[in-house]
Chains A and B, each alone.
Chain A
Amino acid sequence: MKLTGAQILLECLKREGVQVIFGYPGGQVLPLFDKLYDSDIRFILVRHEQGAAHAADGYARATGKPGVCIATSGPGATNLVTGIANAYMDSIPMVAITGQVKTHLIGNDAFQEADVTGITRPITKHNYLVKDVNDLSHIVREAFYIASTGRPGPVLIDIPSDIQMKDAEFIWPESVSLRSYKPTYFGHPGQIKKAAKLIANSKKPLLYIGGGIITSGAHVVLRELAEKIQAPVTWTLMGIGGFPATHRLSLGMLGMHGTGFANHATMESDLIIAVGARFDDRVTGRIDTFAPSAKVVHIDIDPSSISKNIRVDIPIVGDAKNILGELLEQIKKLPDTSDWLKTVDGFKKKYPLKYKESEKIKPQYVIEQIDEITKGEAIITTEVGQNQMWAAQWYKYNYPRTFISSGGLGTMGFGFPAAMGAKLGCPEKTVIDIAGDGSIQMNIQELATCVCNKINVKVMILNNGYLGMVRQWQELFYKKRYSHTCITGPDFVKLAESYGAVGIRVTKKEDVRPAIEKALAIDNTVLVDFHIEPEENVYPMVPAGEAINQMIEGLA
């Protein structure tokens, strides 16, 4: 059967199980959009291409399925770039499709031309420029395969508009096999045995988990392992939800804004079992002081993550779920961790996560209320900065894929479009974007997308009139010289209303809870503008370049 390139692409997307596409039309995707007009795949028209990329990312994080976004050539594609880089840093499966100028015009500085495969090479797992319509179906198949296997990541397909119009025989490749790409899924049995032995002989084991737990769906087996060996569990920002926050063995997040007890426990540990985490600088603090007495077992599907930042005693390459399952079977002798757990409990008492109660609205209080009202069952997305850290610290995440945040790249403006994507992927869930007044303005235009498509996400703005995290650094390390961090926002209530959404302003502490309840009850997109204590800081805090037990514990 002969189809045009555009039809082939859509047929491939359908066969890959794509249910929703986020995108924006333009000159070089006209043939594709013409065929989309007849397609039964749901298309969400965003108001800025960056919103499309973040929405596809949020969809992927919430569902585990690759997110798909489409933009035109040139500016459409460059507007996707931040979203693609964001997905790359956090290993999120995504397929980005861009239009390109006609094949014969490539390299001619044609109207709306940009070298998109060149621009995105360092921020994609792989990318393609389609030069022959006969290659299209296997490229799309490969793109989905590469995006969603091994360590996932975004893959971009750049399709010149003439290729979209050309006819070719449609052949669906039943399977994909690439001689140059063979991810390792099963850990080396000898290494797993060695790890089991180290665990048996440890006195202070600690599980340190990252996003890999969530990607591989290893949360259940992780919990079994933690309970079996009675080891406390700490996690990175990306690992949130990989282990129940309310579990007796949970330590919360570690690192720069981690809990005091997680950081102290990490420094004291004699065996760190790292799973799907990469010892990022925000986690380790000063690297030569990190966990001085600990041996390290590092389980990761990406060999290049191992021994990149810290020396590893037992590296195990493979899928977290498989390896933890094997490890569980290999552990014959259990360590006695009762003294260790007592020490850790001591840390929990000595260094609790805390804030000073006030008559003003404290951001931590707002998040605690959101947690209580939603019973920890919502999907929370965040922007970047203080809002993100408070959301990470004060909401109790018990399930994977319920905390969606820009970890590696730290992209302001991510949370709202990501919430949109998450809501489309999980329509039965309450989806809340915890935002700052700075970040929310970076992709505020997506209010229109939400309202038009009845994507009823709730945005909780922790409005302090500052770019809060930068202001905090200026307060602590730059003598309170608040250089360009004081921002004036719009009237968020009127803004919401102008888009057809609902706006609620909260200036009194006693109105916090009713406002959240009201927002959740309204069948519309709702923006709640909490006027919080303006100079509240995120604590504890490890200053950059310090050991992670050298925390500032201020109680602002």
Chain B
Amino acid sequence: MRHTISVLVENKFGVLARIAGLFSARGYNIASLAVSETLEPSISYMTIVVEAEDEKILEQIKKQLNKLVDVITVTDFTKKEHVDRELILAKISYSAKDKAKLEAMLEKHMAKIVSHKGDTAIIEAVGNQEQIKQLLAGLSQFGIKELAKTGRIAMA
């Protein structure tokens, strides 16, 4: 099962390697990882989506993260009401006759075309896991040529 956790870390040299190394050394899987500076530049905010078979493994992951000297706090969103979002960019190709159909679908999913060249377009969309999934299903009829996702960010 996938769980979303956020980690506040000291924004120091090697901190990402410490987190990534912990996961690989202990055999945990990262489904996605998003990192950036916070308003306080000495602190970074990481959102990690982890695969954990059971509660015990999830507990260990949180405890091991907390044990790292550079980790300030660990928040588990599993049982918390929270908002999570992911941003995607998708390159699709479509013909002029499909334009209306595409625009209708983009509107439905609150997505938009951010770049356009000939018959290819780059679509930008923000949403939670389910919304993104539905959008991608809708876009698949046009043929997705490239897809980039930021990974999930979350906040409670």
A residues contacting B by CB (< 8 A) are 117-118, 121-122, 125-126, 129, 131, 146, 178-181, 302-304, 307-308
The 7 A-B pairs with the shortest beta carbon distances in the complex, nearest first, are A304-B63, A126-B69, A180-B72, A181-B69, A122-B25, A303-B63, A304-B64
Cβ-defined partner of B69 (8 Å) among A117, A178, A302, A304: A178
**Chain A residues in 8 Å Cβ range of B14:** 117-118, 121, 129
B21 touches A122 (CB 8 A): yes
Shortest distance between the CB of A27 and any CB in chain B (Å) = 24
B17 touches A303 (CB 8 A): no
**Chain A residues in 8 Å Cβ range of B21:** 121-122
B66 within 8 A of A: yes
Cα A244 to Cα B67 in complex, Å, equals 32
Which chain A residue shows the least CB distance to B64? A304
Cα A330 to Cα B69 in complex, Å, equals 33
B56 within 8 A of A: yes
Cα A118 to Cα B18 in complex, Å, equals 9
Cα A122 to Cα B68 in complex, Å, equals 10
Which chain A residue shows the least CB distance to B10? A180
Cα A302 to Cα B60 in complex, Å, equals 12
Instruction: Return 28 A-B CB contacts under 8 Å, by A number.
Output: A117-B14, A118-B14, A118-B17, A121-B14, A121-B17, A121-B21, A122-B22, A122-B25, A126-B69, A126-B70, A129-B13, A129-B14, A146-B69, A179-B72, A180-B9, A180-B10, A180-B70, A180-B71, A180-B72, A181-B69, A302-B67, A303-B63, A303-B66, A303-B67, A304-B67, A307-B56, A307-B59, A308-B60
Cα A180 to Cα B12 in complex, Å, equals 12
Cα A61 to Cα B57 in complex, Å, equals 32
Cα A126 to Cα B17 in complex, Å, equals 12
- How many residues of B sit at the interface, in one of the four size bands? 20 to 34
**Chain B residues in 8 Å Cβ range of A181:** 69
Which chain A residue shows the least CB distance to B61? A304
**Chain B residues in 8 Å Cβ range of A125:** 69
Cα A122 to Cα B63 in complex, Å, equals 16
Cα A146 to Cα B68 in complex, Å, equals 11
**Chain A residues in 8 Å Cβ range of B18:** 121
A131 touches B70 (CB 8 A): no
B71 touches A304 (CB 8 A): no
Shortest distance between the CB of A138 and any CB in chain B (Å) = 13
Shortest distance between the CB of B61 and any CB in chain A (Å) = 10
Cβ-defined partner of A304 (8 Å) among B9, B10, B60, B70: B60
**Chain B residues in 8 Å Cβ range of A179:** 72
> How does the 8 Å CB contact mask read for B18-40 relative to A, with 1 for contact and 0 for none?
10011001000000000000000
> How does the 8 Å CB contact mask read for B43-72 relative to A, with 1 for contact and 0 for none?
000000000000010011001101101111
Extra pairs beyond A118-B17, A121-B17, A180-B72 (11, CB < 8 Å): A126-B69, A126-B70, A131-B13, A180-B69, A180-B71, A302-B67, A303-B63, A304-B64, A304-B67, A307-B56, A307-B59
**Chain B residues in 8 Å Cβ range of A117:** 14
Which chain B residue shows the least CB distance to A117? B14
**Chain B residues in 8 Å Cβ range of A131:** 13
Cα A307 to Cα B22 in complex, Å, equals 19
Cα A131 to Cα B9 in complex, Å, equals 20
**Chain B residues in 8 Å Cβ range of A129:** 13-14
**Chain A residues in 8 Å Cβ range of B9:** 180
Cα A303 to Cα B67 in complex, Å, equals 8
**Chain B residues in 8 Å Cβ range of A178:** 69
| CB under 8 Å from chain A, chain B span 50-98 | 56, 59-60, 63-64, 66-67, 69-72
Cα A372 to Cα B63 in complex, Å, equals 45
Which chain B residue shows the least CB distance to A142? B69
Cα A131 to Cα B12 in complex, Å, equals 12
Which chain B residue shows the least CB distance to A306? B63
Cα A146 to Cα B67 in complex, Å, equals 12
Shortest distance between the CB of B94 and any CB in chain A (Å) = 45
